[in-house]
């Protein structure tokens, strides 16, 4: 019996990050989608590139992030700690929904710089 080839589609990338603004000390990054183990290495790369370029103040807009798992939380904590050592900071902005809940449950909403989403946010 001959086998029938099955086409396997590559999974679509379920996340995206865009540097939307930067200057010599600051970078603002917009994140979209689901941030799980598949996104971990890219998140590390994007944050590390900004740190390596000398930026000490990084804003990460999470308004369009629908999922954030522990692997990416670890990346955010590590970046937060490195930036604090350099007298900088990582600010997670427009946090709401499941992402806010994960930060709350883990207690990271108390140790990271988190700006909740407000009614005026789109």
**pLDDT tens, 15-43?**
999 999 999 999 999 999 999 999 999 99
Q: Does residue 47 come out as left (phi exceeding 0), alpha (psi in the -120 to 50 range) or beta? A: alpha
Strands 57-68 and 26-35: parallel
Q: What residues have CB less than 8 Å from 1, skipping those under 6 apart?
A: none
Structural domains of the chain in order of their starting residue, each with its CATH number: 15-116 (3.30.750.24)
Alpha carbon of 59 to those of 16, 18, 26, 28: distances in Å? 15, 12, 8, 5
Q: Is the pLDDT of residue 46 over 50?
A: yes
Mean pLDDT of 8-14: 63
Whether the CB-CB separation of 83 and 90 falls below 8 Å is answered with: yes
Per-residue pLDDT band at 50 (split at 50, 70, 90): very high
Per-residue pLDDT band at 10 (split at 50, 70, 90): low
For the whole model, what pTM was predicted?
0.85
- pLDDT value for 118: 79
């Amino acid at each position: 019996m001959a086998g029938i080839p099955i086409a396997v589609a590559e999974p679509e990338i379920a996340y995206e990050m865009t540097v939307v603004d930067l200057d010599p000390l600051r970078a603002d990054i917009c994140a979209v989608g689901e941030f799980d183990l598949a996104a971990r290495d890219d998140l590390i790369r994007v944050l590390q590139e900004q740190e390596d370029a000398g930026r000490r103040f990084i804003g990460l807009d999470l308004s369009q992030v629908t999922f954030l798992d522990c692997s990416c939380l670890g990346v955010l904590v590590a970046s937060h700690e490195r930036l604090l050592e350099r007298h900088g900071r990582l600010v997670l902005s427009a946090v709401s929904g499941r992402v806010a809940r994960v930060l709350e449950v883990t207690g990271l909403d108390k140790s990271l710089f988190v700006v909740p989403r407000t009614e005026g946010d789109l």
